[in-house]
Amino acid sequence: MSDMKDMKLNDDQLDGVAGGAIFYAGGVSGSDPKAPWEVINDSDRKIGDAKRGDVVGRFDNRDDAMAAASRAGLSQTEISYNMVENLRK
């Protein structure tokens, strides 16, 4: 395991790494009240048309958002509104 800390990804491998996070946007201005669970791009690369901090998808429940994130190879980590705002800076 100790030799894992020295492993690095080359550019081709890095292109395959996706970022993402789950955010509950209920009550946030501009969110979709019928689909308050959002999958957010938390990486510096584009995922589809979504750049860092953008919504990758919206869902009416947490389970569907987590499943969509998983299918897309994205993280299922829930983040706060402050974290979303920081991603968008």
Cβ atoms of 19 and 43 closer than 8 Å = yes
Q: How far is CA 31 from the centre of its chain?
A: 16
Residues 6+ positions from 9 with CB-CB distance below 8 Å:
17
Copy the structure tokens of residue 22.
């789950």
Mean pLDDT for each consecutive 10-residue tract of the chain (89 residues)?
Answer: 45 50 95 96 87 95 93 88 93
The predicted model scores a pTM of 0.75
Q: Which two tokens stand for residue 43?
A: 């990486």
The Cβ-side half-sphere exposure at 75, using a 13 Å CA radius, reads: 14
**Which amino acid makes up residue 67?**
A
